[in-house]
Chain A
Amino acid sequence: MGTLQLEVVTPDKTVVSSETEMVVCPGVEGEFGVLPQHVSLLSALKIGALRYRVGGKDEYLFISGGFADVNNNIMTVLAESAERAADIDTARAQAAKERAEKRLTAHDEAVDMARAEASLTRAVSRLHVAALR
């Protein structure tokens, strides 16, 4: 059935570049899977876990602020940050989660709710991905 070339690129480096059998992405309108020979697609992605299968084994990535482009059997994921499950700093994510929760419960006028919520989502899904390794 052939393979799908997956490239995950962030402004600071190329995180993944490999032949995969399947990729599952957290799209803004729901999770979707991409198999080889997929139709050309451009989709924005949510903060969350990206799963891809290499040699029958699942690998997990944390993705935030990105979009995916599928064309000619090449899938490019451009994200503001992407981390392999093994590289996630759980202590930092845990600290970020607590900080965000505190900000959200503080009911302070000065707190930017949207930003606090986004950072909470990021921290929670980082921890979630880290637990999958």
Chain B
Amino acid sequence: MPSLKDVKMKIVGVGKTKQITKAMNMVASAKLRGAQARIERFRPYATKYRQVLADLARKVEGNAHPLLAEHEEKKNCAVVMVTSDRGLCGSFNGNIITQALKLAKEKTDAGMSVSFACVGRKGRDAARKAGYNMLTCYADRMGSIDFALAGSVADEVINGYETLAFDEVWLVYGEFVSMGHQPPRSLCLLPLKALEDVDGDGGAADAPREGNGPHCEYVYEPKEEKLLAELLPRYVRVQVYRGLLDTSASEHAARMAAMDNATRNCNELINSLTLLYNKTRQAAITSELIDIVGGAEALNG
């Protein structure tokens, strides 16, 4: 049996851990609210952008732009991996990393060489450890993501795709579905495939458009092809930004869940330790009593 003091110390220790996990839970929930609000504000932009671009893409011939054209020979692949900077959020980062490495392995098996561009420290460390070529990494930026960051990541891969340094670009991020569900998702960034089914909410976004479609033929300024050349690279940026926003919201949601769990486990542990403490205390009292009674008996003897 452990000594009374040991158990007492352990209870105090677990109590302190609980305080920390509880505080982290609350911080995560506050941050999640902010991140969720950002996604809400971003959604109208993304939806509208897709609509406009889909309309435009229908008007233009198949391979009108280098970003739409598929390269015939596929030798190089870039993976943009978005993870969080910090751990303590359950299996969230692990899931994204597993997904990304699986994707990278598939591409390697298909005879392509894979390079990584990472946003978030966890992903960077994993990719580096796995020995992949590192294109760029932005660590410790998840706390202050903005459109400019998405822009610089996107510009890098766009540049690579246009100069034929890459033949495929994928984006791996943690999608924010709900508070309890943040699955990793991989998305083919380049070449841009049929815009209609690029992402899940596409169907819903396009539906209302059918009803109030253009009430007359569109005037394009400048010409369609030039306009497309302006809009497509920006669309890639929009996609990357979406990945960043989603990952950041997912991270906080995952951390909230993980910390909630941890707090609950602490409670359980404290309960069982308290039980042990009381038992130990009682055992100590009993043995003391036996000593006293035994001593008295001996004196009387």
Q: Which residues of A contact B (CB under 8 A)?
A: 9-14, 27-29, 32, 39-44, 65, 67, 69, 71-72, 76, 78, 80-81
With contacts A72-B215, A78-B45 known, is A42 near B238, CB below 8 A? no
Q: Which of B44, B55, B231, B241 contacts A67 (CB 8 A)?
A: B231
How many A-B residue contacts, CB cutoff 8 Å?
79
Contact at A72–B48, with CB atoms within 8 Å?
A: no
Q: How far is the CA of A12 from the CA of B44 in the complex (A)?
A: 10
- When distances are taken between beta carbons in the complex, the residues of chain B under 8 Å from A11 are 42, 45-46, 147, 238, 241
CB contact list, B38-56 vs A, under 8 A: 38, 41-42, 44-46, 48-49, 52, 55-56
DSSP class of B's interface residues: helix, strand, loop or mixed? Answer: helix
Which candidate, B107-115, B122-130, B158-166, B218-226, is the interface stretch facing chain A? B218-226
> What would be 8 A-B contacts, judged by CB atoms less than 8 Å apart?
A9-B44, A9-B45, A10-B45, A29-B222, A40-B214, A40-B218, A44-B230, A67-B52
Chain B interface size range? 20 to 34
Greatest chain B CB density within 10 A among A28, A32, A43, A71 is at A71
Q: Which residue of A lies closest to B42 (CB)?
A: A11
Given A40-B216, A42-B52; A27-B221 close (CB under 8 Å): yes
Q: Whose C-beta in chain B lies nearest to the C-beta of A76?
A: B48
Distance A9 CA – B49 CA, assembled complex (angstroms):
10
Contacts of B46 in A (CB 8 A): 11
Binding site for A on B (CB under 8 A): 38, 41-42, 44-46, 48-49, 52, 55-56, 146-147, 151, 212, 214-222, 226-227, 230-231, 234, 238, 241
A40-B230 contact given A11-B238, A13-B41, CB 8 Å threshold: no
Contacting residues, chain B, for A69 (C-beta < 8 A): 48, 52
Q: Supply 7 further A-B pairs (C-beta < 8 A) apart from A41-B220, A43-B222.
A: A11-B147, A14-B41, A42-B219, A44-B222, A69-B48, A78-B49, A81-B147
B contact residues around A67 at 8 Å (CB):
52, 227, 230-231
**Chain B residues closer than 8 Å to A72, beta-carbon distance:** 212, 214-215
Complex Cα gap A11–B52 (Å): 15
Q: With A72-B212, A72-B215 as known contacts, state yes or no: A14 contacts B230, CB within 8 Å.
A: no
**Residue among B44, B147, B217 making CB contact with A80, cutoff 8 Å:** B147
